[in-house]
Structure 1
Amino acid sequence: MKIKVVFLAVSALVLTSCGSGKNVVKSTPNEVDLEPKEEKMPELPQLEQIQKPLKTTTTHTEIYIQKFAPIAVKKMHEHGIPASITLAQGVLESGSGRSPLALRSNNHFGIKCHRGWQGHSVTHDDDEKGECFRKYKYPETSYEDHSQFLLTRERYASLFKLKNTDYKGWAYGLKRAGYATDRKYPQKLISIIKKYNLDAYDKIQPDGSLAAETPSYEIGSHKVEKGDTLYSIARKYNTSVQRLKEVNGLTDNNISIGQELMVR
């Protein structure tokens, strides 16, 4: 039986570039303009910055994944990079959206300026003092630029011969190609993917359905209809009422027709 998944339409809407595997130093950046090009308005709604968990049992990382998964899946179908890899890189490189570079510059992958960059930039201390990093107006632009960074560099070409579901091959391939200097970088990505079941996003089809081999649990959202209760929704998606309340920030069992609920 095909299970349809509709991604949550979030309100308001990765890694160091070949080189650094370090976190960005929390220093005040100086903005530099390098004849910036105008950024296109993203197709997906923009996300609010990640600040505090909705509940003490809901982590920053879970919130980050819930909000940015639609973008990662969209980019997977456009460019062939597993959504699990993109999300894991975003989590690792941006501190789940809370690093200074992500908060101030929407740079979720720590990509440096490099020769030919024509966008805005900021300076941060990384491998060297005052290095140039790319700055974006929208989070989705950072995700698109991350895809283009991998697509347009020959040393990553072999990765695109792998299947979307081969996240382990991608993780080790990124390290071999020189994306990060951290020797344990592949293991860190794989650990994040396993902990948060990110490989399930790799099985989302372009039409929003799950691949046949995907486990029966769902990742997406449910639009509340007449007669729905948290209990009936929980049973439908093989989860619990408490879990639904946690991931949606609900303090009671009240829901309304038309309300979008995240289901995991």
Structure 2
Amino acid sequence: MKPFEFIAKLAPIATQDMRQYGVPASLTLAQAILESNWGTSGLTQKANNLFGIKGTGPAGSVTMQTTEYRGQTPYTVSAQFRKYNGWHESVTDHTKLILNGTRDKPMRYHGVLWADYKTAANEIWRGGYATDPKYPSKLISLIEQHSLYQYDLPNPKEEERMKIEQLTTELQKTQEQMRQLSEQYASSLKLLNEQGSTIKQMNARLTAVEASKPAKVPAWAEPAIHAAQEAKVLNDPAGSYDFYRIMTVLHRLGFFKADK
């Protein structure tokens, strides 16, 4: 099986387990690659055991040689490993081990849950999953080399927090827009009030001007108005007192002479 085929087969299972339980899909994939040598190890071929988990599985067990470490020194021992009916069972058992740990330390692997791939790689080793001191770096190398981190999902709590932050930011923007609109409204209202005041003043002045016009031509201005009409320089006799005064002065100066 080629690497891309191995990943394509296992990635959906690993992603589903992460969605349900929080075990990083990148960690599951990297461990499966490392422990099974891309599915070619004798343990995987004989027992569908992708992760080198010891004990008895749903399909029994097999005895295999394995390498352990005392500090930096490797040594080989025989051990009993779990046997599965398929890869899906192997992934499920791997997830259960991380969730339940061991009797003496049930939370020994909880540091990997919803962790980034580098943290998860170190926490699985720190919990005692493997004795190889280079185990974390090997996992991280595989994850980065094959971009396995792309299969990791965000922590629902972190995702919820990000959504809240996004909504808060949008709310703040909306509030700022409302504040600006409120200021624009207040400015427009002030301008309208000022314009209304100006119009009132103009109306008052026009009313005053209208009020200053006499209802008819004053008696003292009648000779001038008649003269202006006879001279055909005035059609409408209506006017203000100032108008009648000017017409009277012009009449006295002899400006209005009828045509002969």
What TM-score do the two structures reach when normalised by structure 2?
0.51
Amino acid at match of 1:142: S
2:97 aligned residue: 149
Displacement of 1:66: 1.2
2:64 aligned residue: 124
1:221 aligned residue: none
Q: Does 1:185 align with 2:127?
A: no
Question: Residues 165 and 199 of structure 1 are in contact (CA less than 8 Å); yes or no, is this contact kept in structure 2?
Answer: no
Output one character per residue of 1:155-180: Cα deviation in whole Å (capped at 9) or x when no partner: 47365456635111111111111111
Output one character per residue of 1:207-233: Cα deviation in whole Å (capped at 9) or x when no partner: xxxxx9xxxxxxxxxxxxxxxxxxxxx
Query: Using CA pairs below 8 Å that are at least 6 residues apart, which structure has the higher relative contact order?
Result: 1
Amino acid at match of 2:35: E
Amino acid at match of 1:169: T
Output one character per residue of 1:75-95: Cα deviation in whole Å (capped at 9) or x when no partner: 111221000000000000000
Please, which of 101, 113, 116 is the counterpart of residue 166 of structure 1? 116
Report the Cα distance in structure 2 between the residues aligned to 1:194 and 1:164, rounded to whole angstroms: 18
Q: Does 1:105 align with 2:47?
A: yes
1:66 aligned residue: 8
1:78 aligned residue: 20
Report the Cα distance in structure 1 between the residues aligned to 2:81 and 2:23, rounded to whole angstroms: 22
Report the Cα distance in structure 1 between the residues aligned to 2:78 and 2:24, rounded to whole angstroms: 32
Tell me, what secondary structure is at the counterpart of 1:189? helix
Q: Give the number of the structure whose alpha-carbon radius of gyration is greater.
A: 2
Output one character per residue of 1:47-85: Cα deviation in whole Å (capped at 9) or x when no partner: xxx3xxxxxxxxx22221111100000111122100000
1:139 aligned residue: 87
Question: Residues 108 and 142 of structure 1 are in contact (CA less than 8 Å); yes or no, is this contact kept in structure 2?
Answer: yes
Report the Cα distance in structure 1 between the residues aligned to 2:132 and 2:89, rounded to whole angstroms: 26
Report the Cα distance in structure 2 between the residues aligned to 1:63 and 1:156, rounded to whole angstroms: 34
Question: Residues 111 and 124 of structure 2 are in contact (CA less than 8 Å); yes or no, is this contact kept in structure 1?
Answer: no
Output one character per residue of 1:32-58: Cα deviation in whole Å (capped at 9) or x when no partner: xxxxxxxxxxxxxxxxxx3xxxxxxxx
Unaligned segments of structure 1, at least 5 residues: 1-49, 51-59, 207-211, 213-264
Tell me, what secondary structure is at the counterpart of 2:152? helix
Change (3 A) 1:158 1:91: same
Count of residues in correspondence between the two structures: 147
> What RMSD, in angstroms, separates the aligned Cα atoms of the two structures?
2.5
Change (3 A) 1:178 1:102: same
2:178 aligned residue: none
Report the Cα distance in structure 2 between the residues aligned to 1:163 and 1:146, rounded to whole angstroms: 13
Amino acid at match of 2:101: R
Question: Residues 109 and 127 of structure 2 are in contact (CA less than 8 Å); yes or no, is this contact kept in structure 1?
Answer: no
What TM-score do the two structures reach when normalised by structure 1?
0.51
Output one character per residue of 1:165-204: Cα deviation in whole Å (capped at 9) or x when no partner: 5111111111111111111111111111111111110037
Tell me, what secondary structure is at the counterpart of 1:164? coil
Tell me, what secondary structure is at the counterpart of 2:91? helix
Change (3 A) 1:129 1:163: closer
Tell me, what secondary structure is at the counterpart of 1:188? helix
1:202 aligned residue: 152
Question: Residues 80 and 160 of structure 1 are in contact (CA less than 8 Å); yes or no, is this contact kept in structure 2?
Answer: no
Change (3 A) 1:205 1:71: farther
